[in-house]
Chain A
């Protein structure tokens, strides 16, 4: 019963969160956007009330968070579900690797305080999940969508429209493939090992759940020591010999309850019968030895897995290249009598541009856990994961494929961590996130000897004026000048500038956003 309930809830949460990252239209957010906001780290960073509720939840029910709300945890459960199907009763008890767990937690906290957000982002479970979905599975989802859009077009329907599929950051893609390979392997072999040795959220919640009211408890009188519960415990936390459960690792999945045919285990307030403590020093030592050997084999298998990863890795990268090749070839076919358009090259900006609503570079980098929810929903394809090592994976704006359109505030609506705070269209129109800089040498007015003014025509704030190149000549060509006080840094000018591959007008970010 408890297990069924857990599976139902977990399925709903998992499906909804996955859809959050797949859906590029923003409709799923209207219904399930809150699911991203109740994730542990995002709540800690942005909403203390939710955070406290999560703590209370754990104090009452144990680590149900890990079994229901955390999408990365559920993903591991799905993988181990199939593993168990192949090979039943596959788990055995192992003692906690506390030095590793708390070690990782300490490093995590230190890195967080030092502001090395790339490390934080790497370990945050929800963010890892987000990146896996948005960089590996979203392209597949979009491909399917484009197939439907193709069909819709044939039937004169506007239900589906096609979207661009492209690798936003090769680094993030590699990291995501790496993450899913490691976690997938561990989940297949050892259930919840990742959650109980590496995941900092798991460690914190594990510590709290030691004191939870509701727990899985033994009725020692009924137990026949068959060991079925331990063999089916993904967290390897049931010590059947001593009838002890390591609650810091138990994720309250209730699998053991269902497996036990003697009704020994119950998810309840207190023990029906106090178990006798039988553990002796000797046994403890034995166990420790065993755990060391296990660890060895563990690390061996990790090595093995990384080999297999690289092959998988290679295959999926190759697959993606194939996709992008196909898209290019189609582009060319359409061309015919059309002039070739050179792709714009990504600019290296001195100060990265952060989206409207993020207040400042510091605020953004402090809060962002690089879950890429904003990256997945951005309809203008301008949010791109940073490749800067310290802030690796945290999105920044780049205007090669589009610009920050005035009617859109999607990223600020979906951000669960407070890195991008909610902002209205009106506020956005008066918030300066950067300013445009004109590079005369690139301007087509001079290089192609034509009239242009496209930047000025599309500036939403009227910050760009066209002035004569030569003041003394009446019919002199007009070039733009930027009134930086009025510029909000939306990038319309940069994106629509005809100069390629480098625009002759580009946006440089501001450390602190201002109101104009």
Chain B
């Protein structure tokens, strides 16, 4: 009692001298300090080593369920190398790789095309400092540009990977981006007509490639075709996009995509190990609207939103490893934490994830962090403010989504009046002409005109629903 009284007095005192909310929050934290010491709080506890969950590949080797994605390596400016043109921060890469290996991560996924071509080189430096049996390296034949589709050019890329990675064999080799471009036609010209696939199979026989697989995006015909040749080729693994939204609703995310449920089931039937990419749907499942977040927070208030996506990906037994592109040490630590060890989802939790997926799809947050790079819009729109008003309402739970709900009228007015207050009428979403000037400027790769039309449609429905 005495302690409590003291705290209250201190709070009252701080308020009285005009400390405001921030200080009173501090004071409140001070109150708690007597009860739970920060050292014992789970968030700040150091990540346990030696508890990583492992899955077995076809050879019976243990592969860490967390795979290290090398697409977003840190740069010297602290940004992800995928977004900026800055040099990779090799020291930080080394530090993170050391940390990852020390905590049981042994799968590293790179490509000649990642980080503007710097990824393999950087990973070669970082990994070669460790003994070769401590890590498995995955890289790809990334002959995306038509000029590299010839056998000679493709082989050049392939041979260069050995040099950059400083290895004499590659653990996992992928045909990169199957189903992209013109689908089957592109597949034929990149890997089949030039004999590259046959070459890679021979390389596997020769032992320079230990596992051969492909990464799949887009046209389902290509996926089905390559699986139909499984008897002959013997795929050692396949990499697919999978997360709790793509599981059943991939078409809603992108009409070109196919439900991960189908992809996984097809691979499971043929006993092919599955490597997961985009477990966070391009980061979108780490930052979801509050309504969806509430569903997940209700089950476990202490679990991060991203951790749910990782647990979902790891839930399926044929999953060999789950790739995550980790720019910051904090991401790496959090992900290792989630998988050390992996706690299987319960059927209730799976259901909740499906419920969250549905609300995410209905009202996706615009992944805008108001960096203002898109501004000024040549047609006068206030792009960041339009997005922040929409996101704010979505996160407040004050988005008048359901016309049947009791407080719809109130929310509708608040949304529309708030919209006019935040953005002058002439700068609102309905004035977006989709000239697409903003798109290349957005570091978040937001399809701004598409989002503008989505918000415009939403506003229009609100206005008409008097």
Contacts and interface: CB of A to CB of B under 8 A. Distances in A.
A207 to B, nearest CB: 46
A244 B432 CA distance: 74
B375 interface: yes
Contacts of B417: 158, 161
B421 A451 contact: no
Interface in B186-212: none
A444 interface: yes
Given A337-B372, A405-B463, A451-B436, A153 B431 contact: no
Contact of A444 (B380, B414, B418, B433): B433
B60 interface: no
Interface in A229-261: none
B437 A407 contact: no
Given A337-B372, A405-B463, A158 B378 contact: no
Nearest to B453: A457
Given A406-B464, A457-B453, A498-B431, A339 B379 contact: yes
B426 interface: yes
Interface in B72-101: none
A337 B435 contact: no
Contacts of A454: 430-434
A64 B375 CA distance: 64
Contact of B434 (A405, A406, A453): A453
Contact of B376 (A162, A338, A405): A338
A347 interface: no
A38 interface: no
B414 A496 contact: no
A6 interface: no
B413 interface: yes
A334 interface: yes
A454 B380 CA distance: 14
Contact of B413 (A158, A338, A406, A448): A158
A341 interface: yes
B421 A161 contact: yes
A331 B427 CA distance: 12
A482 interface: no
Nearest to B435: A450
A337 B431 contact: no
A146 to B, nearest CB: 12
Contacts of B432: 454
B420 interface: yes
Contacts of A496: 430-431
A334 B435 CA distance: 24
A405 B379 CA distance: 22
Q: Does more than half of chain A's interface fall in helix, strand or loop, or is it mixed?
A: loop
A458 B459 CA distance: 12
A287 to B, nearest CB: 62
Interface residues of B, number: 32
A49 B463 CA distance: 37
A451 B435 contact: yes
A412 to B, nearest CB: 15
Contacts of A498: 379, 431, 433
B466 interface: yes
Nearest to A450: B435
Q: Contact residue range for chain A?
A: 20 to 34
Contacts of A457: 453
Contacts of B421: 153, 161-162
B246 interface: no
A339 B432 CA distance: 13
Given A158-B413, A158-B418, A407-B463, A341 B380 contact: yes
Contact of B437 (A158, A340, A450): A450
A340 B380 contact: yes
A162 B434 CA distance: 29
Interface in A113-156: 153
B278 interface: no
A454 B431 CA distance: 7
A161 B380 CA distance: 23
B382 interface: yes
A84 interface: no
Contacts of A334: 424
B433 A453 contact: yes
B377 interface: yes
A423 interface: no
Interface string B428-454: 001111111100000000000000010
A45 interface: no
A175 interface: no
A452 interface: yes
Interface in A383-413: 402, 405-407
Given A338-B376, A341-B426, A405-B463, A450 B413 contact: no
B408 to A, nearest CB: 14
A451 B464 contact: no
A452 B434 contact: yes
Interface string B405-429: 0000010011001101100111100
Nearest to B457: A457
A343 to B, nearest CB: 9
Given A337-B376, A338-B376, A339-B380, A452 B433 contact: yes
Contact of A339 (B376, B410, B430, B464): B376
Nearest to B379: A498
Contact of B435 (A331, A405, A448): A448
A158 B431 contact: no
A338 B378 CA distance: 9
A451 B434 CA distance: 7
Contacts of B414: 158
A162 B419 CA distance: 12
Interface string A158-173: 1001100000000000
Contacts of B376: 337-339
Contacts of A405: 463-464
Contacts of B434: 451-454
A450 B433 CA distance: 9
Nearest to B376: A339
A331 B378 CA distance: 17
Interface in A209-236: none
Contacts of A337: 372, 375-376
22 contacts: A158-B414, A158-B417, A161-B421, A162-B420, A334-B424, A337-B372, A337-B375, A339-B376, A339-B377, A339-B379, A341-B426, A402-B425, A450-B433, A450-B436, A450-B437, A451-B433, A452-B433, A453-B433, A453-B434, A454-B430, A454-B433, A496-B431
Q: Shortest 3 CB-CB distances between A and B: which pairs?
A: A450-B435, A341-B380, A452-B433
Given A338-B375, A458-B430, 15 more contacts: A161-B421, A162-B421, A337-B376, A338-B382, A341-B426, A405-B463, A405-B464, A407-B463, A450-B436, A451-B433, A454-B431, A454-B433, A454-B434, A457-B453, A496-B431
Interface of B: 372, 375-380, 382, 410, 413-414, 417-418, 420-421, 424-427, 430-437, 453, 463-466
